[in-house]
């Protein structure tokens, strides 16, 4: 066990050497900015998680118990807003992306370091505005559908500006990454020698840059509706509430790929390392990231099948929706082919990656149920949607994030975590997650509507199962974070390349020095050349 060895710190703390508030608040170092994002987003993950647990507690009872239905509405709105806007959208791109992109492409920093810390400040400002708006309890849900959001007494106007700021931060980060990937690659690092995480971050950044401004203007218009009485979304003034939904989903559907693509990138990095095999279908995985980003822009209407949109539009959106499953399938098959006859070691990053594939297959394959018009009408706004969403977003993105956290933890902090504790946490998370959310698939098919605070008694057994699962999930998550947190101070020293990886970030110290590399490396091959040489050595 590498843990509990040394309370004394490893000799070289690299970029972490400097201490003090200003060395963090005004840093231009992409690694420090990445950690700032990581700390901030994980904080909101925990807060949003507490709200989720409260919701599940209440749902154990079919009536209005524990707390009022009004409070229930507020809690699920807060759970949604925090998890979506303050955690899952920025978590992997802004935190791991910032930390890893320059290291993985052999650069000293991102293209615009000042813009980078500026976007973190805007992010913080947005968070403060959003939190300020919570002074009046929000009860709109995270989708803010008009006309309710335009008329409710809650502080939707203030919240709109908060979300605008958070979105701006997201845009500027994406812009920075696009330019960084185009301009700052190390000598010899051609596009098809790029790590697949970089490909997925590139696709992610394109979505961030092109979709986020649309939600920006949507929230500005919503605010204008409340302040000036502008009537774009108000039928009484000739406007169209469906227009709001179109605008909202034009952003919010592509943005689910902002959430999932980076996690897919993480898995594509981890699998070949722990299977000791070259990644199968490199180009397929790389191009499928771009394809997902592109097709993702064309399918937003599948959120609106029962909204009163025209049947023709519904048919077209349904048709296009199936296309987005194709590049996703390409990835899954390539991952599985990578595992085939690999020499697999089940360390924590690999366990989480395999869990990602398992859960994402379930989450992904339940997508077509919802994308098909006929089944959608039955399943729309039921727990089936909640389950599908959480299987892809929590089972996909969050598990992918956990995989990445375990994989790059030694690089980030120069210390190892306890593998034993990591495995226990994984076990709890895996079972807790499936009990919590698989029950919801069944509930959904049986007709349990989402967002209801009270429900018919016949649904109660499955709700109790789901709630019990959520406790295991919470326990596992807390244990996982405790393990990582403890290892920040007590973990044994990490080698520069503890997993035997081949991407560039492992060719420098753990933790890396401030300028990343003593000398910018020259790249001569792709980063997945596992197997051949290792076999020759044997």
Partner 1 sequence: MSGTESHGGETPAQALATAKLGIWTFLATEVLLFGGLFTCYIVFRLKYPELFYTEHLKLNRPLGLVNTVVLITSSLTMALGIAAMKQGLRRRATACISLTILLACGFLGVKYVEWSEDFSHGLYPGTNLFFSLYFMMTGLHGIHVVAGICALCWVLVLARRGRFSPEYSTPVEITGLYWHFVDLVWIYLFPLLYLVG
Which is closer to partner 1, CB of 10 or CB of 213?
Answer: 213
Q: Which two tokens stand for residue 410?
A: 């030694």
SS3 readout for 201-224? HHHHHHHHHHHHHHHHHHHHHHHH
Query: Per CB under 8 A, which region of 140-148, 231-239, 337-345, 481-489 contacts partner 1?
Result: 231-239
| Total H helices, total E strands in the chain | 20, 0
Among the listed residues 84, 129, 166, 171, the single contact to partner 1 using CB under 8 A: 171
Using a 10 angstrom Cβ sphere, with 0-12 exposed, 13-18 middle and 19 or more buried, the burial of residue 88 is: buried
Closest Cα partner for 394 from 99, 4, 79?
79
Query: Judged by CB under 8 A, does residue 153 bind partner 1?
Result: no
Using a 10 angstrom Cβ sphere, with 0-12 exposed, 13-18 middle and 19 or more buried, the burial of residue 17 is: exposed
Q: Can you state the angle between helices 196-227 and 254-275, rounded to 10 degrees?
A: 160
Shortest distance in whole angstroms from residue 179 CB to partner 1: 5
Among the listed residues 186, 217, 320, 442, the single contact to partner 1 using CB under 8 A: 217
Shortest distance in whole angstroms from residue 209 CB to partner 1: 5
What is the Cα–Cα distance from 167 to 122, expressed in whole angstroms?
Answer: 9
Number of neighbouring beta carbons within 10 Å of residue 266: 30
Query: Judged by CB under 8 A, does residue 216 bind partner 1?
Result: yes
Query: Judged by CB under 8 A, does residue 240 bind partner 1?
Result: yes
Shortest distance in whole angstroms from residue 211 CB to partner 1: 8
Which is closer to partner 1, CB of 231 or CB of 449?
Answer: 231
Query: Per CB under 8 A, which region of 63-71, 168-176, 254-262, 337-345 contacts partner 1?
Result: 168-176
Among the listed residues 209, 298, 442, 475, the single contact to partner 1 using CB under 8 A: 209
The sign of the torsion formed by the CA atoms of 252, 253, 258, 264 equals positive
Which is closer to partner 1, CB of 171 or CB of 480?
Answer: 171
Among the listed residues 75, 123, 199, 247, the single contact to partner 1 using CB under 8 A: 247
Which is closer to partner 1, CB of 117 or CB of 440?
Answer: 117
Query: Judged by CB under 8 A, does residue 230 bind partner 1?
Result: yes
Closest Cα partner for 518 from 128, 14, 84, 97?
14
The sign of the torsion formed by the CA atoms of 235, 238, 244, 245 equals positive
Which is closer to partner 1, CB of 378 or CB of 515?
Answer: 515
Across 481-521, the runs of DSSP E, i.e. the strands, are none
Query: Judged by CB under 8 A, does residue 312 bind partner 1?
Result: no
Query: Judged by CB under 8 A, does residue 210 bind partner 1?
Result: yes
What is the Cα–Cα distance from 146 to 275, expressed in whole angstroms?
Answer: 50
Integer distance in angstroms from the first to the last C-alpha of the chain? 26
Query: Judged by CB under 8 A, does residue 513 bind partner 1?
Result: no
Shortest distance in whole angstroms from residue 518 CB to partner 1: 15
Q: At CA 367, angle to CA 312 and CA 429, rounded to 5?
A: 160
Which is closer to partner 1, CB of 283 or CB of 515?
Answer: 515
Shortest distance in whole angstroms from residue 180 CB to partner 1: 8
Query: Judged by CB under 8 A, does residue 298 bind partner 1?
Result: no
Query: Per CB under 8 A, which region of 92-100, 193-201, 235-243, 433-441 contacts partner 1?
Result: 235-243
Query: Judged by CB under 8 A, does residue 161 bind partner 1?
Result: no
SS3 readout for 338-405? HHCCCCCCCCHHHHHHHHHHHHHHHHHHHHHHHHCHHHHHHHCCEHHHHHHHHHHHHHHHHHHHHHHH
Query: Judged by CB under 8 A, does residue 515 bind partner 1?
Result: yes
What is the Cα–Cα distance from 288 to 290, expressed in whole angstroms?
Answer: 5
Which is closer to partner 1, CB of 229 or CB of 456?
Answer: 229
The sign of the torsion formed by the CA atoms of 437, 258, 201, 33 equals negative
Query: Judged by CB under 8 A, does residue 220 bind partner 1?
Result: yes
Which is closer to partner 1, CB of 299 or CB of 403?
Answer: 299
Among the listed residues 2, 137, 141, 213, the single contact to partner 1 using CB under 8 A: 213
Considering only residues 17 to 36 of the shown chain, the ones binding partner 1 according to CB under 8 A are 28
Shortest distance in whole angstroms from residue 142 CB to partner 1: 19
Which is closer to partner 1, CB of 239 or CB of 301?
Answer: 239
Query: Per CB under 8 A, which region of 61-69, 176-184, 307-315, 485-493 contacts partner 1?
Result: 176-184
DSSP annotation of 139: -
Query: Judged by CB under 8 A, does residue 113 bind partner 1?
Result: yes
What is the Cα–Cα distance from 412 to 409, expressed in whole angstroms?
Answer: 5
Among the listed residues 212, 288, 477, 510, the single contact to partner 1 using CB under 8 A: 212
Query: Judged by CB under 8 A, does residue 101 bind partner 1?
Result: no
Q: At CA 324, angle to CA 304 and CA 242, rounded to 5?
A: 15
Considering only residues 69 to 98 of the shown chain, the ones binding partner 1 according to CB under 8 A are none
What is the Cα–Cα distance from 251 to 299, expressed in whole angstroms?
Answer: 11
Residues that bind partner 1 (CB under 8 A): 28, 108-109, 111-115, 171, 175-176, 178-179, 182-184, 209-214, 216-218, 220-221, 224, 228-232, 237-240, 243, 247, 515
């Amino acid at each position: 066990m590498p843990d509990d060895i040394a309370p004394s710190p490893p000799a070289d703390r690299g970029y972490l050497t400097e201490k003090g508030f200003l060395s963090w608040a005004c840093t231009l170092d992409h690694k420090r900015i990445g950690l700032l994002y990581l700390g901030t987003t994980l904080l909101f993950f925990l807060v949003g998680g507490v709200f989720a647990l409260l919701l599940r507690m209440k749902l154990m009872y079919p009536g209005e118990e524990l707390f009022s239905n009004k409070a229930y509405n507020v809690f699920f709105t807060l759970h949604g807003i925090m998890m979506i806007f303050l955690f899952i959208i920025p978590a992997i791109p802004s935190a791991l992306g910032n930390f890893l992109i320059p290291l993985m492409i052999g650069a000293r920093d991102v293209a615009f370091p000042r813009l980078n810390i500026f976007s973190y400040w805007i992010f913080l400002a947005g968070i403060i505005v959003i939190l300020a708006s919570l002074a009046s309890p929000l009860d709109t849900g995270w989708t803010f559908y008009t006309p309710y959001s335009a008329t409710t007494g809650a502080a939707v106007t203030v919240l709109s500006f908060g979300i605008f700021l958070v979105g701006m931060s997201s845009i500027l980060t994406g812009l920075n990454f696009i330019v960084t990937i185009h301009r700052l690659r190390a000598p010899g690092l051609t596009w098809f020698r790029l790590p697949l995480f970089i490909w997925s971050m590139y696709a992610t950044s394109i979505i961030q840059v092109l979709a986020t401004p649309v939600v920006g203007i949507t929230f500005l218009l919503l605010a204008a509706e409340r302040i000036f009485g502008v009537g774009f979304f108000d039928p009484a003034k000739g406007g169209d509430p469906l227009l709001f939904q179109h605008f909202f989903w034009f952003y919010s559907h592509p943005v689910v790929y902002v959430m999932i693509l980076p996690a897919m990138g993480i898995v594509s990095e981890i699998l070949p390392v722990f299977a000791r095999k070259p990644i199968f279908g490199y180009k397929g995985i790389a191009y499928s990231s771009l394809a997902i980003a592109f097709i993702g822009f064309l399918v937003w209407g599948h959120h609106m099948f029962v909204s009163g949109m025209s049947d023709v539009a519904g048919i077209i959106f349904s048709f296009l929706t199936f296309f987005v499953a194709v590049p996703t399938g390409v990835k899954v098959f390539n991952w599985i082919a990578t595992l085939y006859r690999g020499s697999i070691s089940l360390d924590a990053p690999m366990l989480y990656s395999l869990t990602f594939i398992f859960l994402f297959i379930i989450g992904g394959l339940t997508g077509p149920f919802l994308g098909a018009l006929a089944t959608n009408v039955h399943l729309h706004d039921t727990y089936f949607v909640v389950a599908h969403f959480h299987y892809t977003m929590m089972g996909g993105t969050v598990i992918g994030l956990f995989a990445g956290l375990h994989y790059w933890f030694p690089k980030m902090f120069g210390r190892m975590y306890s593998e034993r504790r990591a495995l226990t946490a994984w076990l709890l998370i895996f079972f807790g997650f499936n009990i919590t959310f698989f029950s919801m698939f069944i509930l959904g098919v049986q007709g349990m509507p989402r967002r209801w605070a009270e429900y018919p008694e016949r649904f109660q057994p499955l709700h109790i199962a789901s709630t019990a699962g959520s406790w295991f999930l919470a326990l596992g998550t807390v244990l996982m974070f405790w393990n990582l947190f403890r290892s920040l101070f007590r973990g044994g020293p990490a080698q520069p390349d503890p997993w035997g990886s081949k991407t560039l970030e492992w060719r420098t110290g753990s933790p890396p020095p401030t300028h990343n590399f003593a000398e910018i490396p020259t790249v001569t091959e792709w980063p997945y050349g596992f197997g051949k040489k290792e076999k020759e050595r044997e």
